[in-house]
Structure 1
């Protein structure tokens, strides 16, 4: 009788999730709390229309607890720099302004009777991170307390506070998986940004989420190219561009090989005559300006000549010109990807790009003095 192949060993993140689930099975809901479940979550590009936030926010639904005709929306928001590990949700203090790992839901979303529930305790396990938008994780023993809006109310991240004697929801155990086939992280230094024979092509404006494509040719920047779509969900698209070049129709041009780049890198590495622009692509500055993206010569921290410009500074030290004081001239605020990268007294703002699909991309972030 032929020898049977051994069962494949589980990967570490699977073992971690199984252990967390086994522990959660022994728990009981806190007194007065209603147990709920969480459905599948999606990231920015998986939503219809596409909606990339200034911090990764995964959206799905909780089991119905109110009007069956209205959705009970579930959300998990992480800081861009959240690393794999175990996090205590009590750290956020039931406040969506102060939490870096946030879990909350809206019962009967979009109705006059909508109620918000924010995690006041529990565990969030980030088991695997491909990119900020593509992760695998789990929630365990999470208590969500009925909450209302609280100051600050006008910041990019508004606050919440628990309602005294308010209702309670409880999640025993729930998992999410927003990793997609061929997913990658275009940022310089990521383990998937430089795989031999492949190019990580950004899918959002700030280029911190991407999809791998097979690079089967030798064509480089500016050459016409051919893009071949995958024939199944388990395959990757391919191009006849060389590694490090995307076959794209960006900027309204025919399919052309364009060098990929990371605008936050000290040296984005763009070919001579081009600069690193939106969607992680190198392009001539004049072409980007003609497409509606303004550049200002001010350096980081300096006053701009324009009230607003998508780009100021120089390669390796980029920012955005913003007239937050309404003086008619902006200041060059440094671009950052994560809220945790802002210093004391600073907050993370974002540039909102409307998308043709009707969605938006707010992945370009900048730090500005809080209170303006």
Structure 2
């Protein structure tokens, strides 16, 4: 069951890519400067452990915007984890960001850093960054990045309007506790990671296919394309023999060997539903997981299509797809009229215009996880 939420040439043995030389130097300089600092008055210094992205979590949890999750050094009950989180906008580009721009408010920040001491207990405390620097050194995909935090002050905070999904606000507690991070790094890039989106540097590497790992197809993994089979042909998938190897198929470049839609292993053309021309073979349309498939097959699998174009009234109250190829949206009945409106799909919160907010479609996954990467802009306040 799906849920739409609103505020109502690769090397033979690829490895995680290092940041470019200039970015490595920036990280080194930031670490050297941070080593000379002292915690702000009244703040307790903490450290940050390894962070994971959506596909690395168990169960898989892809958020509506890339959110990396890990832990901070324990400051409360030693038997309870202190959770650390970094949330970026899908469009966040490599560079340095002033965390003061968020105003200690998890609703307004585009680059957010926060933690929860004794998470999940009645004594839990939330700490949100009020100042400091976030350095994004390398971005393979929105989910796969390398970066660092420097001189970050986090203030004890409590929930504040808006209090509803998908994004909630926070305000600092007057006289509340303070935490401080001198310097910390993260690396959520994985072996063979690639960006399936049209125009990315890793979407069309000769001899390989970038196969999406999430529903909205902005995160993927390279597979070696060793054959000539194309859309609709039976195929063979060979799993990697080690963590340093890539899977291989006998499909041609641009085709994934998949069992999607309940079929046996079949070559399917990959696509970017946000591209002006997804490029799917005749008779197919770009669907979830960045794969081309016949519309009738997708409908039979539970994905409804409505003929309304972006901004038009739908015939259905809810449908996963409306619009046309290259201009897709979702039908949502936000006003309770019984007929939805075709709201345009987007991936980034920053792509929504003035007076708009980013909602998302939540796809439940096996094992209790979820994928919320299909986003859409809707008029805020509904």
Scaled by the length of structure 1, the TM-score of the pair is 0.97
For residues 9-48 of structure 1, the C-alpha deviation after alignment (integer angstroms, 9 at most, x for no partner) is 9833322211111111011000000000000000000000
Tell me, in whole angstroms, the C-alpha distance in 1 between the residues paired with 2:325 and 2:176.
51
For residues 260-308 of structure 1, the C-alpha deviation after alignment (integer angstroms, 9 at most, x for no partner) is 0000000000000000000000000000001000000000000001000
Partner of 2:84: 74
Partner of 1:36: 46
Partner of 2:75: 65
Give the counterpart of 1:169 among 145, 162, 179. Answer: 179
SS of match in other structure, 2:368? coil
Partner of 2:356: 346
Give the counterpart of 1:324 among 320, 328, 334. Answer: 334
CA contact (8 A) 2:19 2:146 kept: no
Partner of 2:166: 156
Tell me, in whole angstroms, the C-alpha distance in 1 between the residues paired with 2:292 and 2:20.
41
SS of match in other structure, 1:45? coil
Partner of 2:255: 245
Q: Please state how far the C-alpha of 1:119 moved relative to its aligned partner.
A: 0.1
* 1:226 matches 2:226: no
Tell me, in whole angstroms, the C-alpha distance in 1 between the residues paired with 2:247 and 2:226.
10
* 1:282 matches 2:278: no
Tell me, in whole angstroms, the C-alpha distance in 1 between the residues paired with 2:254 and 2:181.
43
Partner of 1:182: 192
Cα distance change, pair 341–196 in 1 and its aligned pair in 2 (3 A): same
For residues 114-154 of structure 1, the C-alpha deviation after alignment (integer angstroms, 9 at most, x for no partner) is 00000000000000000000000000000000000000111
* 1:267 matches 2:277: yes
Alignment of 1:17-28 (within 5 A): 17-28=27-38
For residues 215-262 of structure 1, the C-alpha deviation after alignment (integer angstroms, 9 at most, x for no partner) is 000000000000011111111111000000000000010000000000
Partner of 2:4: none
Tell me, in whole angstroms, the C-alpha distance in 1 between the residues paired with 2:254 and 2:227.
11
* 1:192 matches 2:167: no
* 1:308 matches 2:318: yes
Give the counterpart of 1:118 among 128, 150, 158. Answer: 128
Partner of 2:148: 138
User: What 5-or-longer segments of structure 1 have no aligned partner?
Assistant: 1-7
Tell me, in whole angstroms, the C-alpha distance in 2 between the residues paired with 1:134 and 1:9.
12
Give the counterpart of 1:336 among 321, 329, 346. Answer: 346
Partner of 2:7: none
Give the counterpart of 2:379 among 357, 362, 369. Answer: 369
SS of match in other structure, 2:31? helix
How many residue pairs match? The answer is 365
Partner of 2:99: 89
Tell me, in whole angstroms, the C-alpha distance in 2 between the residues paired with 1:184 and 1:65.
37
CA contact (8 A) 2:19 2:137 kept: no
Tell me, in whole angstroms, the C-alpha distance in 1 between the residues paired with 2:271 and 2:231.
12
* 1:211 matches 2:239: no
Tell me, in whole angstroms, the C-alpha distance in 2 between the residues paired with 1:128 and 1:28.
28
SS of match in other structure, 1:46? coil
Give the counterpart of 1:108 among 101, 118, 128. Answer: 118
